[in-house]
Structure 1
Amino acid sequence: MARIAIGGFQHETNTFAPVKATYQDFEMADGWPGLTRGDAIFEVFRGINLPLPGFIERARAAGHDLVPLLWCSASPSAHVERDTFERISGDLLNLIRQQPKLDGLYLDLHGAMVSEHQEDGEGELLERIRAIVGPSLPVVVSLDLHANLTQRMLRHASALVVCRTYPHVDLAETGTRSAELMDRLLRHGPLAKAMRRAEFLVPLPWQCTLINPAAALYRVVEESEGPGRAASASFAFGFPPADIAECGPAVVVYADSAVEAEREADRLIGMVNAAEKEFAGKIWQKDEAVRYAIARSANATRPIILADTQDNPGAGGNSDSVDLLESLVTLKAEGAVFANLYDPETARIAHEAGLHGSFERGIGAWCGSPGLQKFRGRFKVLGLGDGNFKATGPFYRGNNMQLGPMALLELGGTRIVVTSRKQQAADQAMLRHVGVEPAEAKILALKSSVHFRADFQPIAEEILIVAAAGDNPVDNCALPYRHLRKGLRLMPLGEAFQGFSATSRT
């Protein structure tokens, strides 16, 4: 039996977003649990689709003794504030120092954290940890599919294990694979490792593993593991709105020998590069999409889904853009539902007005993103909720959602789901909580890029990726990058980054 410390510190950083992550954001529960310490981890995370509970279950089954440290996450946003990063990482480091003897350490990280002072948040954290635990302690790290893998992360972790689905329905399974790899390291010692990078960025909607080419690529990655093959193989797409030098897709392979690791890494990155031209798809403009959805829904038996990807709170958007909502109302999209609008003040006013009450105000566009405008009207209150409910979809499986006061409003035949905490519309329970049955809507406009597909795709007639106002441009060429490495193509088969120019990028 080994004594293994466990913990986590997660943030996905959109360096172009306007609102930074504070300590309070990590303390607060939303779609995932808030900051949790010590033995409470075992109860709070039980049955949730996250890597940490997957690791716990598998490691306990192997007979290991687990030492819970702390775990926290904050909704994707701009940079993690310097003091916040230092406070949380300092707490985690102190907890590790306090342990008299450890045989291993497992961390549930994201892989795309950028703080105000550290471009590579996870790499910095792992370097500090390695300085405490020494060079030989097995340190296994699970990462999100959107991780931007860095050389520091590779150097200081014994193994990096990346999830393989987007929507991320395999997070707990990723924790299980991490525990199995930890067990192997404890029994047989360190593995050789190799990492390779692609030279192009892939927009989030086309990273979806429910469709090709991503679906086919991840099948190959999974099949590359096993007896006589790699001990572990991972492919991370990277997170394009993170303006850092090591942004972008990469593969990492662990094997018994350096030759095997290098050979398999070369093979996998070759397949990624060969698929570059397939990573493209139609992007609909908002009015074009709404007109099409109205016409298509007239004869459809299931909802037409409009993915409001550029205001996706799961990618650092603020979920407060009402650009697409304005199109739905103006073009008279009867039977449409718009979710989720993050607007705590509007939710509060709706609760004051009461069920069947009404009020007039400008909603949305309150977080400060340039160019966004409120949408004014007289809204009727059709439903109210406290924001506390159990998630039912595959992505948020098992989690107790805590979204604060919620309301269902109506204007011009369109219903609007309003929340008091920022959370992408990736679970049907969010709509049902305020009285909407998603399958009965004619049009569903959802603030999400891909995660909504796990629960909503089975009820969809058709899905359109829509470009409306927001802080997560679907075309990476629209982002004013400064720090990418030169030569990295901003879009598949697109222009290469040549370095920041104050005259060409304003």
Structure 2
Amino acid sequence: MGFRVALVGIYHESNTFIGDLTDAADFRNSHWLWGADIRKEYEHAHHEIGGMLEVMDREGIEVIPVVFAEATPGGVVRGETYRALLDGIREGLQRSMPIDGCLVVPHGAGVSEPERDMDGHWLEAVRRIVGPGVPVVGTLDLHANVSERMVNATDGLVIYKRNPHLDQRERGKEAGELMIRCLRDKMRPCQKLVQLPLAISIEQQGTDVQPCKGIYAYARQLEKEQGVCSVSVALGFPYADVPEMGSSIIVITEGDAVLADRIAQQMEAYILERRADFVGDKIGVVETMAKLSDLQKPVLLLDMGDNIGGGTPGNGLALVKALETRGLRYFSYQPDAEAVRQAAGVPVGTAFDLCLSGFDDEGQGPWKQRVVLKNRVAGNFTEPTPRHGGQVRFDMGETLIVNTEGGGTLMVSTLRIPPFSLRQLTAFGLDPEAFDVLVAKGVNAPLAAYGPVCQTVLQVDTPGPSRADVSKLTYQFRRKPLFPFEPI
């Protein structure tokens, strides 16, 4: 008799500093998949689910895809939406019983109205249904704020090791291999969590450069020890005001608690000794504009305060307003459904007044510009290559492409998506290398897409609910002490 393994997931990065809630429409506009549709979407994708399926299929294990729901990062998940997602997991799992194992795909930084530790809560629900003897194994995003509830409800969680997240399929395969060992070899993993008294500044979280490059090199070294299955580091998501906010370590061994404790302590000491390196320098909009004339083009400006991949609305205007007066050819993306609606009757090639609703250093307000409508498109495109997030299909809804009087090209969409794919430009006839400046509303994630075509990259400390200087945000629930807020 073969093994039967269920697959479930709720995946959301929730920014608690945003007033708008994430609701059912946000999941439906992204991915809310059931049964065979999960395999159809992700089997060949650069995504952890694809990696999990690859290993299970290779080993001849039957996978029962139950439900996977994912929405673009945003505000806290609405209560009724979370309850519907949780009901889907409960009902689907109960219909799938009996099972021999359960693969889980949380993000690790999900927050809902009823449950601030949303991922810990739904993982506990999974554990209650499958029982204590069924292995529960999965993955976490590198930006997870890992709680004891998440770890206690599972047998093994492996975390992405790259930012931008280009290793998701690999981590899915790693989780799949761990599940195989639990099923075939009857291994009972020992999983150890250490929550570090450290919050790493968002612009310092790139894993291809120091200081984080050294963390992952050391983790790989520790993983080579006999009996160690996995050494993972979650850099954390500072825009979720929850007690577990901050960086953490998960060590998984072959049932050896003493070894897990020792490896975790070594990893903890390595990171905390270097804590001052993780604070980072901040460059504002004015300083950035002063640098542009001397930089090799195209220049990629990363709008850190309006990081769509960090849950923001994407309507920050600080960089666009500054660039409009510089006489440079620039590109920027702005989700604004109302602006698209108001331009419904404008013919292509016609000048009209575009009114964007957004924010800058002075607060929220409209920005009116005379523009020429160059194109109106249905904003669907696909990304076939490995990119941050591992998604294949993107949908911006009805989208306008306009030219401004100051030399800019703006893409204004009905639906909000993060800048994880250069196909967002090239699929609609825009050549990224034809611009002097490209604005991407992100921090590290856009580098996988934009890095190959941009000669210079600047991370800009713009205003917004994902601003790099988190000392300007007001927390109520974070743990203390937490460096750099307090000395440790």
Q: Same fold (TM over 0.5)?
A: yes
Q: Is 2:310 the partner of 1:315? A: yes
Q: Is 2:165 the partner of 1:174? A: no
- Provide the rounded CA distance (Å) in 2 between the counterparts of 1:240 and 1:25: 22
Q: 2:192 aligned to 191, 194, 200, which one? A: 194
Q: 1:100 to 1:128 in 2, by over 3 A?
A: closer
Q: 2:321 aligned to 326, 339, 343, which one? A: 326
Q: Is 2:353 the partner of 1:365? A: no
Aligned to 1:110, the other structure's residue is in SS state coil
Q: Report deviation, 1:393.
A: 4.9
Q: Which moved more, 1:235-244 or 1:428-437?
A: 428-437
Q: Report deviation, 1:239.
A: 0.6
Tell me the equivalent position of 1:501: none
- Provide the rounded CA distance (Å) in 2 between the counterparts of 1:449 and 1:62: 39
Q: Is 2:54 the partner of 1:57? A: yes
Q: Is 2:467 the partner of 1:466? A: no
Letter in 2 for 1:328: L
Letter in 1 for 2:20: V
- Provide the rounded CA distance (Å) in 2 between the counterparts of 1:398 and 1:139: 24
Letter in 2 for 1:279: F
Per-residue CA deviation, residues 369-415 of structure 1 (Å, 9 max, x unaligned), is 99222211111112332111112553155612111112221211111
- Provide the rounded CA distance (Å) in 1 between the counterparts of 2:331 and 2:477: 39
- Provide the rounded CA distance (Å) in 1 between the counterparts of 2:387 and 2:337: 24
Q: Is 2:91 the partner of 1:74? A: no
- TM-score relative to the length of structure 2: 0.95
Tell me the equivalent position of 2:116: 119
- Provide the rounded CA distance (Å) in 1 between the counterparts of 2:283 and 2:434: 24
- TM-score relative to the length of structure 1: 0.91
Is the CA contact 1:239–1:248 (under 8 Å) kept in the aligned structure 2? yes
- Provide the rounded CA distance (Å) in 2 between the counterparts of 1:214 and 1:233: 15
Q: Report deviation, 1:168.
A: 0.6
Q: Report deviation, 1:351.
A: 5.2
Q: 1:136 aligned to 133, 157, 160, which one? A: 133
- Provide the rounded CA distance (Å) in 2 between the counterparts of 1:357 and 1:345: 19
Q: 1:183 aligned to 180, 183, 187, which one? A: 180
Q: 1:335 to 1:47 in 2, by over 3 A?
A: same
Letter in 2 for 1:289: T
- Provide the rounded CA distance (Å) in 2 between the counterparts of 1:391 and 1:296: 33
Letter in 1 for 2:101: G
| Structure 1 segments (4+ residues) deviating >4 Å | none
Letter in 2 for 1:134: G
> Structure 2 matches for 1:81-480, cutoff 5 A?
81-186=78-183, 187-226=185-224, 228-256=226-254, 257-293=256-292, 295-297=293-295, 300=296, 302-330=297-325, 332-338=326-332, 340-350=333-343, 352-365=345-358, 371-395=363-387, 399-411=392-404, 412-480=406-474
> Structure 2 regions of 5+ residues with no counterpart?
none
- Provide the rounded CA distance (Å) in 2 between the counterparts of 1:92 and 1:303: 46
Per-residue CA deviation, residues 92-115 of structure 1 (Å, 9 max, x unaligned), is 111111123100000111001111
Aligned to 1:373, the other structure's residue is in SS state strand
Tell me the equivalent position of 2:13: 12
Is the CA contact 1:393–1:454 (under 8 Å) kept in the aligned structure 2? no
Per-residue CA deviation, residues 289-317 of structure 1 (Å, 9 max, x unaligned), is 12311x124xx2x3111100110111011
Q: Report deviation, 1:235.
A: 0.6
Q: 1:272 to 1:354 in 2, by over 3 A?
A: farther
Per-residue CA deviation, residues 19-61 of structure 1 (Å, 9 max, x unaligned), is 11101111112xxxx2110112111223222211110111111
Q: Report deviation, 1:348.
A: 3.6
- Provide the rounded CA distance (Å) in 2 between the counterparts of 1:398 and 1:107: 17
Q: CA RMSD in A?
A: 1.9
Tell me the equivalent position of 1:500: none
- Provide the rounded CA distance (Å) in 2 between the counterparts of 1:82 and 1:334: 45
Is the CA contact 2:399–2:411 (under 8 Å) kept in the aligned structure 1? yes
Q: Report deviation, 1:322.
A: 1.3
Letter in 2 for 1:382: K
Letter in 1 for 2:6: A
Q: Report deviation, 1:227.
A: 6.2
Q: 1:61 to 1:333 in 2, by over 3 A?
A: farther
Is the CA contact 1:18–1:369 (under 8 Å) kept in the aligned structure 2? no
> Structure 1 regions of 5+ residues with no counterpart?
498-506
Tell me the equivalent position of 1:495: 486
Q: Report deviation, 1:153.
A: 0.8
Residue-pair matches, total: 483
- Provide the rounded CA distance (Å) in 2 between the counterparts of 1:207 and 1:418: 29
Letter in 2 for 1:458: P
Tell me the equivalent position of 1:2: 3
- Provide the rounded CA distance (Å) in 1 between the counterparts of 2:208 and 2:365: 34
Q: Report deviation, 1:181.
A: 0.6
Counting aligned pairs with the same residue, the percent is 26
Aligned to 2:450, the other structure's residue is in SS state helix
- Provide the rounded CA distance (Å) in 2 between the counterparts of 1:205 and 1:241: 13
Q: Report deviation, 1:470.
A: 1.7
- Provide the rounded CA distance (Å) in 1 between the counterparts of 2:224 and 2:57: 23
Q: Report deviation, 1:223.
A: 3.1
Q: 1:496 to 1:422 in 2, by over 3 A?
A: farther
- Provide the rounded CA distance (Å) in 1 between the counterparts of 2:311 and 2:411: 19
